[in-house]
C-alpha cells in the first residue's frame, strides 16, 4: 500500500510536516484494516449479501483509525453521547471516516446525493465550515428533523476537550469484493439538502 504524493501545504499548515506525513501514511492503513475485518466477517457469515460486511466496516472504521493513530502527538478521542463509536481528534481536528463510494474511479468531491450518517451530519453542523448559502427559515414553516435536533450534549462533550475543533472528513471507497479502493481527506460544509460543499481536499491512497 502506497501513499499518494507528498503532503500539501494545506495539510502541513494544519499538522506540521512530520505529523502530516505520518497521518497520510497511517490513515489508509487503518481503513485497510477496517475493511479487511469486515471482509472476514462476511466470509465467516457465509452470506451472499453484505449484511455482515456493512455493520462491521462502519464500527471498525472508527476503531481502527484510533488504534493506528493514538500514539501520534496531539491525538485523543471522544465518545459522543449516544453514539456507538469514538471519534479520533488530532490537533483540534475531528477525523471523521466517511464511505463515499463502493466502486473505483469516483472523485470524492464530486459525489452527489445527501450525506448519510447522523453523527457526521451533527458534527458538520456544529463544527464544520459554514456553507456559502444557507436557506432562510420562513415564518410558520416547520423545522426539519436536523434543524429541530438537540445537539447540546454533543457540543458540550467535544468542546470540553479542546478549543473549538474543526471537522476533517476522511473519505474512502471500498466494497466487500475488492476491499479498500481509495482514501482522500478534506474540508467540507454541509449545504442545504445535506450535500457537501468542498473546500481543500487531497488524495491519500488509490488502488492501482
Q: What is the pLDDT of residue 125?
A: 92
Q: What is the pLDDT of residue 2?
A: 54
Q: What is the pLDDT of residue 148?
A: 65
Q: What is the pLDDT of residue 134?
A: 63
pTM of the model: 0.89
Q: What is the pLDDT of residue 131?
A: 87
Q: What is the pLDDT of residue 133?
A: 65
Q: Is the pLDDT of residue 149 over 80?
A: no
Q: What average pLDDT is seen over the chain? A: 90
CA dihedral 174, 181, 128, 83 (to 10 degrees): 30
Give domain limits for the chain: 9-206
DSSP string, 99-142: EEESSTT--GGG--SPPP-HHHHHHHHHHSPPPS--PPPPTTPP
Dump pLDDT digits (tens) for 60-78.
999 999 999 999 999 999 9
Dump pLDDT digits (tens) for 182-204.
999 999 999 887 889 999 999 99
Contact assessment for residue 182 and residue 207, using Cβ atoms and an 8 Å cutoff: yes
Q: What is the pLDDT of residue 147?
A: 64
What are the distances in angstroms from CA 32 to CA 67, 68, 96, 122, 155? 13, 11, 15, 26, 30
Amino acid at each position: 500500500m502506497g501513499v499518494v504524493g507528498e503532503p500539501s501545504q494545506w495539510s502541513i499548515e494544519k499538522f506540521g510536516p512530520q505529523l502530516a506525513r505520518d497521518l497520510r501514511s497511517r490513515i489508509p492503513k487503518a481503513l485497510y484494516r477496517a475493511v479487511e475485518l469486515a471482509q472476514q466477517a462476511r466470509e465467516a457469515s457465509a452470506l451472499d449479501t453484505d449484511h455482515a460486511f456493512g455493520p462491521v466496516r462502519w464500527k471498525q472504521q472508527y476503531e481502527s483509525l484510533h488504534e493506528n493513530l493514538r500514539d501520534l502527538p496531539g491525538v485523543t478521542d471522544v465518545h459522543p453521547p449516544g453514539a456507538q463509536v469514538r471519534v479520533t481528534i488530532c490537533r483540534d481536528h475531528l477525523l471523521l471516516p466517511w464511505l463515499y463510494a463502493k466502486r473505483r474511479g469516483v472523485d470524492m468531491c464530486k459525489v452527489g446525493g445527501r450525506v448519510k450518517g447522523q453523527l457526521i451530519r451533527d458534527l458538520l453542523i456544529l463544527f464544520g465550515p459554514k456553507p456559502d448559502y444557507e436557506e432562510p427559515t420562513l415564518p410558520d414553516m416547520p423545522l426539519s428533523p436536523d434543524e429541530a435536533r438537540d445537539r447540546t450534549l454533543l457540543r458540550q462533550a467535544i468542546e470540553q476537550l479542546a478549543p473549538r475543533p474543526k471537522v476533517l472528513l476522511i473519505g474512502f471507497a471500498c466494497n466487500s469484493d475488492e476491499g479498500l479502493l481509495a482514501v482522500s481527506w478534506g474540508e467540507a460544509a454541509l449545504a442545504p439538502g445535506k450535500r457537501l460543499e468542498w473546500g481543500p481536499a487531497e488524495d491519500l491512497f488509490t488502488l492501482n
